[in-house]
Amino acid sequence: MVINNEVCIFAAMEKQVPNRTFLACILALGIFIFLPGRFLAQTPETHIEADGDQGGPDEEELFLFSAYHDSMGRLVPSYELYGLWDTLNIHPYKNLAAKGKDSALICLAYDHCDYFHPFAGIVTSDYGHRRSGYHFGIDIDLETGDTVRVAFDGKVRIAKRSKTYGNVVIVRHNNGLETTYAHLSKLMVKADQNLEAGDVLGLGGNTGRSTGSHLHFEVRYKGIPLDPNEIIDFKQFALKDNHYVIQPKSFNLYSESKKARYHTVKKGDTLSGIAKRYGTSVNKICKLNKISSKTIIKPGKKLRVS
Ligand SMILES: [Zn+2]
């Protein structure tokens, strides 16, 4: 991918002028308001109504959506949407998730340099179903040591090592989304660090639960994974559109994954075998069924596996 730094720097400087952003966002909100009324009717939590004002959005409200101070006085992107800033836990939004009923308009970009493709490589595993379980991100092929860059402006929420993600960076963006960059060989940012789209956040690798160097990239809204293909063209390495409308169907895969699934024990089944088959762990199955890992599972018994 050819990177024209001069153009990007110039565009970044232009972004400092707020009026362009406001005008673009007002235009986008205008379009959103004219969308079917059900979007707004179902969404008391969308940013448009965040402060309870039922009138038309003004510039101040739009600014509050893009960045907000938390209780410590820190400037935290989309704080009013999330209500928390957790730099330790990868998935802290247990009760915030809209359970598939949320709708919102995400203003992704106003300028071509507001987005930077994290790594211009081939997709080796897509978002969606896997033979056992679900894949909530997109895997992009890379070599260990390749630079991985942040997709949008934002603030690093997580930069640490995790058992499954390996070295992982999660960035909260002003547009309301969070993006995840996993299996890195090296972290090059720290939590609370502000980034601009295109800044290097680490080097690609093969850490955590991973077989072969790749970047596992996720896009989440309030902790719920979205299909990155809806937002980004992974062949063109570019955004599909400047805006993205989150609808209840955007959460379909996640909702499906949360539904209870059962397995009827057959002769020869073991807990570890069942766990492997459903992409879960013995520990999780034991918790769901209130049994211990030493419990003998008899054929015919119904076990909850998710
Ligand atoms: Zn992956």
Going from the Cα of 216 to the center of ligand 1, the distance in angstroms, rounded, reads 4
Beta bridge partners of 252: none
Which of 22-26, 54-58, 192-196, 199-203 is least confident? Answer: 54-58
Six-digit token string for 47: 């940013």
The tens digit of pLDDT for each residue in 233-263 reads: 999 999 999 999 998 889 889 888 888 788 9
Per DSSP, 212 falls in state: S
Going from the Cα of 157 to the center of ligand 1, the distance in angstroms, rounded, reads 20
Going from the Cα of 63 to the center of ligand 1, the distance in angstroms, rounded, reads 34
Going from the Cα of 235 to the center of ligand 1, the distance in angstroms, rounded, reads 17
Going from the Cα of 163 to the center of ligand 1, the distance in angstroms, rounded, reads 14
Phi, psi for 119 (deg, rounded to 5): -155, 125
State how far the Cα of 40 lies from the Cα of 43, in Å rounded to an integer: 5
**pTM, two decimal places:** 0.70
Of 208, 227, 272, give the one whose Cα is nearest residue 134.
227
The tens digit of pLDDT for each residue in 19-67 reads: 444 445 455 555 454 444 333 333 333 333 333 333 334 444 444 445 5
